[in-house]
Structure 1
Amino acid sequence: MKIHLTSVFVDDQAKAERFYTEVLGFVKKHDVPVGGKDRWLTVVSSEEPDGTELLLEPAGHPAVAAYRDALVEDGIPLAQFAVDDVKAEYRRLRGLGVQFTQEPVEMGPVTTAVFDDTCGNLIQIATEAR
């Protein structure tokens, strides 16, 4: 068994598509209309185009707002992405205007930072020491 797809709820798919591709550097994999303005919109890592897909899922379900608001209020990231160097990625993303809620912190063998994805979520980036 392996993870094929995971998702983040987003307030606006077009805004999320821009952020996740133009700022974070993911690549659009699927973009299929599913009714109304909603789409089956997935992105993948440019480093692993056949890897796990991230679904930018519309946050329309009534339970989503309370769930995401509680996570953000408590500073809990919804997802974590691996990067080669958290400190370098932090500097790159800050230069692009990304707002961080946690600057890089070393926690034993892992360095993490947390940013706001502009679509309602906190996302953590992490690097394991080699």
Structure 2
Amino acid sequence: MRIQLASVFVDDLDKALHFYTEKLGFTKKTDLDLGGARWLTVVSPEDPDGTELLLEPDTHPAVQPYKDALVADGIPATSFAVDDAHAEFQRLRGLGVQFVQEPARMGPVTTAVLDDTCGNLIQIHQQ
């Protein structure tokens, strides 16, 4: 068994695609029109056949309260591994990405938390 797909709820698919590809550096893998819906995934360019991230519309009534609660409590929706948290923080900040937590050592990992502009906090971490 392996993880093939994970998702993050976003408020706008096109805005999310731009952020996740142009800012974070992922690559669009799948973009299917499902007749009123859209299946949109991105992958790491370092592992194009690896785990896909589904950019999922946040239209279900339960999603917005859930997202709002996570953001209010400072809880990231997901976490992405990076080789160097400080360097990635500097790169992303240079691209205009807003961080709510600068790189901080948390035991064996260094983490930073950013705003994905689509209603989520996203953590980057270096082990």
Q: Is TM-score (shorter-chain normalized) higher than 0.5?
A: yes
How far, CA to CA, are the matches of 2:7 and 2:107 in structure 1?
28
Give 1:39 deviation, angstroms.
1.1
Q: Which residue of 1 aligns with 2:65?
A: 66
How far, CA to CA, are the matches of 1:35 and 1:87 in structure 2?
42
Aligned pairs (5 A) from 1:35-74: 35-36=35-36, 38-74=37-73
State the TM-score, normalizing by the size of structure 2: 0.98
Give the partner amino acid of 2:68: D
How far, CA to CA, are the matches of 2:34 and 2:79 in structure 1?
27
Number of aligned residue pairs: give it.
127
How far, CA to CA, are the matches of 1:91 and 1:103 in structure 2?
10
Aligned pairs (5 A) from 1:1-130: 1-36=1-36, 38-128=37-127
DSSP 3-state at the match of 1:125: strand
Q: Would you identify which runs of 4 or more consecutive aligned residues in structure 1 move more than 3 Å?
A: none
Give the partner amino acid of 2:2: K
Give the partner amino acid of 1:55: L
Name the Cα RMSD after superposition: 0.6
Q: Deviations over 1:11-46 (max 9, x none)?
A: 00000000000110000000001232x310000000
Give the partner amino acid of 2:53: L
DSSP 3-state at the match of 1:25: coil
State the TM-score, normalizing by the size of structure 1: 0.96
Identify unmatched segments of 5+ residues in structure 1.
none
Aligned-pair identity in percent equals: 72
Give the partner amino acid of 2:66: Y
Give 1:108 deviation, angstroms.
1.6
How far, CA to CA, are the matches of 1:20 and 1:99 in structure 2?
14
Identify unmatched segments of 5+ residues in structure 2.
none
